[in-house]
Amino acid sequence: MLKNKSGFVGIGAYAGNQVLPFYKTGYPCLFVNTATTDLDSLTEVDDQYKYQIPGGEGCNKDRIKSRELFRKDIDNIINEVKEKLPGIEYLFVVASLGGGSGAGSVMPMKRVAMNDLDIKACIVITVLPNTKTESIQALINSYETLAELEALEEPGTMFILDNDKNNNKMKINEIFFCHLDALLTLDCNSALGNIDDAEVEQMLCSRGVSIISKLGKDKSDIQNLISTFHNNVYAPLEDDKVIKYIGLANSGTGHSIRMEDVYEEVGIPLDTYIQYEAKYTLCVLSGLSLPYKKMSEIKEIIDSNKDTIKRNLTAQNTNRLSKSVGFFDDIVPEKKSTEKKKSDRDLLF
Ligand SMILES: Nc1nc2c(ncn2[C@@H]2O[C@H](COP(=O)(O)OP(=O)(O)OP(=O)(O)O)[C@@H](O)[C@H]2O)c(=O)[nH]1
Ligand SMILES: [Mg+2]
């Protein structure tokens, strides 16, 4: 199993919540943030596994500010990762797409980690904002951050969660934890066939997007499995049937799920890894396309609000109130002070 080769670095508030259950179940984890308040709220985490990037108290969704703070402190951050997550082969970097601290740092974090650490892959775990309730700034950030992640060539898949799928964000975190933990602790002891570490590694190293489905023994049939490809916590699958690997751990001897049916639904992969007699059914689809359709919907929302936002921004750049209503004009003013203004700052008052 891959658990003992894996470690987590979470950057920002979402990441703190998402990484917490991994920390609590014994994975090596580092909680990074620009804000001490967010780190303080992680009361169950020992202080030595929290790291505050100096210079800011949060980045208020400003990715540029985050990136600048991150850039200045990168050597210290990498040293923290080396010290707190020694000997790992798989680094999971966790950050939301819509915020500032995590979204601004996630792309450079993956790049620097692959360059500076002796690891096989850096896997990104991230989440899209809720398109109905969240701000235009969050949507812009998500689009730009995902574009940056798409361009990376370093090995490591991406798990993209979607806050449109469930109004309870904590529930999304919890479900994903169950999925990934099940994959990283997959037992291999069936005489009929197993998914070995090298095969899980292959899926984690692949580029593009991955999703994980998990079904209890009593629900392990093809209809339920296909339903989990769509009714889940992940960003919607593209319907282009682009896929590289499928890993399927069957809870039984494999009679209830025919691979042909899975292929018909998600496309034909380069390779398939099968296991039998597992505790539950676990299915990993990897090397999938990014959620382009979803991202173009997000872009449409941004575009359709562009004019309103522009108008609101420029409205504050012009002074439309006259300096004086002239009410006191006929009253002789007291003699003005002749004291010279001291600095530019005085003009503010
Ligand atoms: N699923 C889920 N989404 C979350 C959670 N916390 C925040 N988010 C989402 O994350 C985005 C906001 O990002 P945060 O992680 O709070 O931001 P940050 O990285 O701390 O950045 P700044 O606070 O702007 O410096 C929004 O889209 C939220 O909906 C969580 O626990 N679970
Ligand atoms: Mg924050």
| Three-state SS annotation for 144-196 | HHHHHHHCCCCCCCEEEEECCCCCCHHHHHHHHHHHHHHHHCCCCCCCCCCCC
> What is the distance, to the nearest Å, from the Cα of residue 27 to the centroid of all Cα atoms in its chain?
18
Q: Which atom of ligand 1 is nearest to the CA of 62?
A: 24
CA of 95 to the centre of ligand 1 (A): 8
Domain residues of the chain, as ranges? 3-154
Q: Which residues surround ligand 2, an ion (CB under 5 A)?
A: 13, 58
Q: Which atom of ligand 1 is nearest to the CA of 38?
A: 20
Which of 67, 124, 127 best tests ligand 1's pocket when mutated (most atoms within 8 Å of CB)?
127
pTM exceeds cut of 0.75: yes
- Residue 138 · residue 62 · CB < 8 Å: no
> Residues near ligand 1 with C-beta < 6 Å?
12-14, 17, 34, 38, 58-61, 96, 98-102, 127, 129-130, 134, 138, 161, 163, 169-170, 172-173
Burial of 311 (0-12, 13-18, 19+ CB in 10 A): exposed
The 10 Å Cβ neighbour count of residue 207 is 16
Q: What is the dihedral of CA 259, 267, 265, 253, to 10 degrees?
A: 10
CA-CA distance, 64 to 68, in Å (whole number)?
Answer: 6
Tens digit of pLDDT per residue, the chain (349 long)?
Answer: 899 999 999 999 999 999 999 999 999 999 999 999 999 999 999 999 999 999 978 999 999 999 999 999 999 999 999 999 999 999 999 999 999 999 999 999 999 999 999 999 999 999 999 999 999 999 999 999 999 999 999 999 999 999 999 999 999 999 999 999 999 999 878 888 889 999 999 999 999 999 999 999 999 999 999 999 999 999 999 999 999 999 999 998 878 899 999 999 999 999 999 999 899 999 999 999 999 999 999 999 999 999 988 888 888 777 777 777 777 677 666 666 666 656 555 555 5
May I ask the CATH architecture of the domain 3-154?
Answer: 3-Layer(aba) Sandwich (3.40)
The residue type of 241 is K
